Amino acid sequence: DWRIFFESAAIECNTKSAALNRVWYKLTAGRRLQPIATVDIRNNRSVVAGEFENRFSVEFDGISNRLRISATSWDDVGTYFCGEMHRDKVQFGSGTFLSDSVVQQPETRSVQPGDSVTVSCTVQAGQCSAGHTAVMWLKNLHASPPDIIYSSGDKTSSCKRAGSGETCVHKLFLKNIDSDDAGTYHCVVTACGHVLLGKGTRIIHSKAVPQCMHTAKTYRFSLLKKYMKIHFCFYTCRKREKKNRTNNNSKPKMNM
């Protein structure tokens, strides 16, 4: 289950029996198993372990079982398991993976021929160090399958640790862009055995203005010129006619 950090998350689990108690466990990126909560069906209550009680809660009804996490953070990365408590064993489900987040910027970029663009991919990698992270870039066009971009020297990566997690920024540099570079670029991040896919950055190549637009502008300008000429001629003729009428009225009349 891929999530952007700081959002809430809900992990569903349906058990076979409504009468059995349940448990929730988390397997961290470092392969450590942590108990999160137990559900006491008979007494209709759940108990969340101390380190999780501020942001974790469990909802249950019949066979339905839901683990809620508010304001997810780097510490929450891992695989979550719910289990049924039998007399001599605990039977677990397949687990749900809550991942770190991938943010790509910009979402869309319009470019001119010869421009340069930097596409960035920010990965909040939790406890997965940069040494266990690999990045690949894909270019996708609507009419063809994705192409793997091998751009040695045209991409960089930098990481820094903050709190209990690590943030890595991966950049792809596109130089001297032409129409062949148009498409959607995705970063594909492999972190501690899990594959994360960015939403993509769409590069739009702004081509020259179509000839029909130039023709339409020329046509409108030609019409405007014709209108101005007609208006000027009409104004001049009216003025000349008015002047002639004034001159005729000012001449003395001869009595016969």
Per-residue pLDDT tens digits for 90-139: 888 888 877 666 666 777 888 888 888 888 888 766 556 666 677 888 88
pTM of the predicted model as reported, rounded to 2 decimal places: 0.44
Ranges of CATH 2.60.40.10 domains, the chain? 9-98, 101-205
Cα distance between residue 176 and residue 20, in whole Å = 64
Specify the pLDDT at position 37.
93
Mean local confidence (pLDDT), 221-237? 45
Specify the pLDDT at position 224.
37
Mean local confidence (pLDDT), 46-56? 91
Domain 9-98 fold: Immunoglobulin-like (2.60.40)
Cα distance between residue 112 and residue 206, in whole Å = 5
Domain 101-205 fold: Immunoglobulin-like (2.60.40)
Cα distance between residue 235 and residue 214, in whole Å = 31
